[in-house]
Structure 1
């Protein structure tokens, strides 16, 4: 990696507990903590001898995943609100959130509500504003936003990153490029 190349490692958070009306920001499930620990060990080996920045969406499942990764890398996670999950629509109840996201995943960005389109632009701008070696703990849709942008695609769904998977991008003068996609889980939002 040259000093002018930026390398972004986007980690999808581990499996979370079930979202409810009373708990709209769920923490990791025990399985999610195990997934995060496995990814942390992988990143510690991959990044041995290097000191990246560690950013995390401010939601509970991402901050918990980032804390586990941070412990392995001896880093304190920095909050990164731009990489939070796609915004809720006004008044959207939890019971319809998964169905709405599944519907959105079948669309192109041009067919999305204005607030979600603007959010996606913000995700790309935030990623393009990063430099150096950065690990970002984020969510399913923001990672898809970046993969689609790098591929020049308008589709909301580009792939189905499994929990705690790592998708790697490079950024330079030519823009954002996918170096490698994280492991997939085809059953997610199927």
Structure 2
């Protein structure tokens, strides 16, 4: 089993701050996720380099007595150069498909999929809404950018079936808004 964890609630919106930490609620969500991951048998971790993911990983790191490896391939989607309104761009992207998104973003999705597919069982992957959607869509052959709406600190479980990584169970969902 590989576990995908969306970061906890951020202290600032995506449109207001490029790399916010967690809010107080987000810190509590991270503690709850650490308990779930421990119970499910996670044994190691990787994290996006973004502050909200690093902070979400900390309670699990403390419980497991480890430090998550920082892996850029599971980071937040990058805003293309020349985009003035990040929020409007992301809203449009989330309503579309990876085919429509273009070669640069589909290459990002492929790199992330290759990275996670190569992980051993037991790894907790602390990542982001769009990244988790990109990954589960790639694994399930779904071209939509938004396959589901993982809530803060939701845990999506992946398992290998016949040597192929697939979604075993989607994490809890929420009404995430891009602000």
TM-score norm. by structure 2 comes to 0.91
2:96 aligned partner:
107
- Unaligned runs of at least 5 residues, structure 1: 1-6
Inter-partner Cα distance in structure 1 for 2:175 and 2:18: 25
Pairing partner for 1:12 from 6, 13, 17? 6
Inter-partner Cα distance in structure 2 for 1:74 and 1:26: 25
CA contact (8 A) 1:19 1:25 kept: no
CA RMSD in angstroms, aligned pairs only: 2.0
Which stretch shifts more, 136-145 or 72-81? 72-81
- Unaligned runs of at least 5 residues, structure 2: none
2:154 aligned partner:
165
Which structure 2 residues correspond to residues 76-91 of structure 1 after superposition, within 5 A?
76-91=67-82
Alpha-carbon spacing, 1:180–1:114, altered in 2? closer, same or farther (3 Å): same
Alpha-carbon spacing, 1:79–1:99, altered in 2? closer, same or farther (3 Å): same
2:27 aligned partner:
33
Instruction: Report the secondary structure of 2:107's partner residue.
Output: helix
Q: What is the deviation of 1:74?
A: 1.9
What are the Cα deviations for residues 148-170 of structure 1, in whole angstroms up to 9, with x where unaligned?
12221111110000000000111
Instruction: Report the secondary structure of 1:155's partner residue.
Output: coil
* 1:56 maps to 2:47: yes
Pairing partner for 2:38 from 44, 56, 70? 44
Inter-partner Cα distance in structure 2 for 1:23 and 1:109: 25
Q: How many residues align structurally?
A: 179
Q: What is the deviation of 1:187?
A: 4.4
Which stretch shifts more, 177-186 or 96-105? 96-105
1:180 aligned partner:
169
Inter-partner Cα distance in structure 1 for 2:16 and 2:169: 37
Inter-partner Cα distance in structure 1 for 2:16 and 2:176: 26
Q: What is the deviation of 1:110?
A: 0.6
